[in-house]
Amino acid sequence: MERPELPLAQLHAFVVLAEELHFGHAARRLGIAQPPLSQQIRRLEDKVGHALFRREPGRVVLTPAGLELLPAARGALAGLAAGLASARAAGDGRAGRLRIGFAASLALTVLPGLLRTFRDRFPGVDLDICEMTSAPQLTALHDKTIDAGLLREPPADEPGLAFETVLTEPFVAVLPSAHPLAGQRTVRLGRLADVPFVLLPRAAGPQLHDQIIALCGAAGFAPRVIQHAVEWQTVCALVEAGLGVSLAPESIRRIRLKGVAFRRIEPGGARTRVALAWRRDDPGPLVANLLAVVRGAQAA
C-alpha cells in the first residue's frame, strides 16, 4: 500500500500547535489565521487516520497518535533544515570536496599560503591535494580527476582550460658548491656551455623545459643534458653529487643542500610563470572561491 505524503507545511503547523497547545497562539506564531491552521491539522489527521489533538476548553492536548507523531515530525523538519543548509553551503562553495593538483616545487613557495588562506575562509571544504608535474595536471583537468591545478608555465592555448597567473619568478643557476663559478654572485649563462646539465624531462613540463633550452640558446649554446629527474629535489641532489648543473626557478633555493649553490644568472630578464588552471565550462563554486583566494593574494 502506498504511503501518503505528508506536506511539510502541515507537519510544521502540527509541531507549532503541539508546542503551543492553543490554536490562537499557534496561528499567531505561524503568521496565519486560525481557520487555515485548523484546515492543515484536519488534513494531516485525515492522512494519519486518527485525531492528533483533543479539544478541551481553552486549549488542546496531544492524543496518543499525536504524541507518537511529534518526534518524527520534528526530525523531518530538522532534517529538511539541515539539508537546506548543506545545499546552500555547497551552492556557495562553503562545503564539498575540492581536488587540487600541484607541482612539487610550489610547496616551496605559493602552495602553503594559498591552502592556509583557503582553509581559514572555507573550513567546511575538504581539500584533496595531489602532487603531479605540469603536463599530467593538464591531462587530469581534461579527465576531470582534479578540479584545479597549480602548475608552471601553462601552455599559451590549451582548449577548454583557463589560467590565472599566481606569480612569476626569475631563474637561477644550480651549481655544485665546489664548482669554480659557485664563488661568483652572478653567473653569465654562456659560461655553462661546456658543463653537463641535469634537467626535468620535457614530458614533465614541456613549456618550462623549452624555456630553459631557449635561455641557453640565447646565450649561444645548446645544453648537454646527461641526466633527467622529475622533481627539483632530485635535480638538486644530482647536482650536489657532481653530475652537472641546472637552471631552476628561484624558489628552488629553499631546497637546502650543503653541496649546492644557487646563483643569479646574466642575462636575468627571463621569468617563469606559475598559474592556477581550471576547466572553462566547469568552474563551480569551489573553484571560483579558490580563484578568489588567488586573486586576493595577488592584490595583497
Q: Going by C-beta distance under 8 Å and a sequence separation of 6 or more, which residues neighbour residue 179?
A: 245, 261
Q: Let me know whether 82 and 53 are in one domain.
A: yes
> Would residue 103 count as lying in a domain?
yes
- CATH of residue 193: 3.40.190.10
Q: Let me know whether 128 and 267 are in one domain.
A: no
Q: Let me know whether 182 and 160 are in one domain.
A: no
> Would residue 3 count as lying in a domain?
no
The angle formed by the CA atoms of residues 111, 137 and 152, to the nearest 5 degrees, is: 55
Report residue 184 as a C-alpha cell.
661568483
Give the integer Cα–Cα distance in Å for 10 and 7: 5
Indicate the residue among 91, 115, 146 that finishes a domain.
91
Q: Let me know whether 185 and 251 are in one domain.
A: yes
Report residue 236 as a C-alpha cell.
638538486
> Please, what's the largest Cα pairwise distance for the chain?
105
Report residue 117 as a C-alpha cell.
588562506
Report residue 181 as a C-alpha cell.
663559478
pLDDT tens for each residue of the chain, 300 residues long: 344 455 888 999 999 999 999 999 999 999 999 999 999 999 999 999 999 999 988 899 999 999 999 999 999 989 988 878 777 877 777 788 999 999 888 988 889 999 999 999 999 999 999 999 888 999 999 999 999 999 998 888 889 999 999 999 999 999 999 999 999 999 999 999 999 999 999 998 899 999 999 999 999 999 999 999 998 999 999 999 999 999 999 999 988 889 999 999 998 888 999 999 999 987 689 999 999 999 887 766
- CATH of residue 61: 1.10.10.10
Report residue 139 as a C-alpha cell.
591531462
Number of domains in the chain: 3
Indicate the residue among 59, 91, 123 that finishes a domain.
91
Q: Let me know whether 153 and 277 are in one domain.
A: yes
Boundaries of domain holding 198: 170-271
Segment (H or E) for 187: strand 186-188
pTM exceeds 0.75, yes or no: no
Q: Let me know whether 242 and 187 are in one domain.
A: yes
Cα distances from 256 to residues 6, 22, 105, 236, 251, in angstroms, run: 67, 75, 13, 9, 11
